[in-house]
């Protein structure tokens, strides 16, 4: 079936190091969304990318959407302990046709930051 693959599954970094998670789709996506879920919490929307090759920044977070709109990445510069959590990408996938879409989530990358 249509899937959104995300790697790596886990990432342990020393505080101050950079972190990147990658998201890949087998089909072209109309947009891609990124969410963060803190331990014990619920997913919180971070950003949506729509255009081919789009790059957006939020402070230390940089989001990219690939030229083919099949892959995306989230890069965090100089991680802090507040960055701990699981980062999910999600893309709309059509399962039943007729313009009907559902948001399909990657399995997430769990980030641990060692102080």
Partner 1 sequence: KAGVTQTPRYLIKTRGQQVTLSCSPISGHRSVSWYQQTPGQGLQFLFEYFSETQRNKGNFPGRFSGRQFSNSRSEMNVSTLELGDSALYLCASSSGQLDEQYFGPGTRLTVT
Q: Closest separation between CB of residue 93 and partner 1, Å?
A: 9
Q: For residue 47, give Cα distances in angstroms to 33, 67, 89.
A: 6, 18, 10
One character per residue 11-50, x = contact with partner 1 (rule: CB under 8 A) = -------------------xx-x-x-----xxxxx--x--
Among 5, 18, 102, 114, binds partner 1 (CB under 8 A): 102
Residue 6 CA, distance from chain mean position: 8
**Helix residue spans in the chain (DSSP H):** none
Q: Is the dihedral of CA 50, 83, 25, 69 positive or negative?
A: positive
Binding mask 53-92 for partner 1 (x = CB under 8 A): -----------------------------------x-x-x
Task: Give ∠ CA 46-49-50 in degrees, rounded to 5.
Answer: 150
Contact residues for partner 1 (CB under 8 A)? Answer: 1, 30-31, 33, 35, 41-45, 48, 88, 90, 92, 95-96, 100-108
């Amino acid at each position: 079936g249509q899937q959104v693959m995300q790697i790596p599954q886990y990432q342990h970094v020393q505080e101050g190091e950079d972190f990147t998670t990658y998201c890949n789709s087998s089909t072209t996506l109309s947009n891609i969304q990124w969410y963060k879920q803190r331990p014990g919490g619920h997913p919180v929307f971070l950003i949506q990318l729509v255009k081919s090759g789009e790059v957006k920044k939020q402070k230390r977070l940089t989001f990219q959407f690939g030229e083919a709109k099949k892959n995306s990445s989230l890069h965090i510069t100089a991680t802090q302990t507040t960055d701990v959590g699981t980062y999910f990408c999600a893309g709309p996938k059509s399962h039943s046709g007729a313009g009907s879409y559902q948001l399909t989530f990657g399995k997430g990358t769990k980030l641990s930051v060692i102080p």
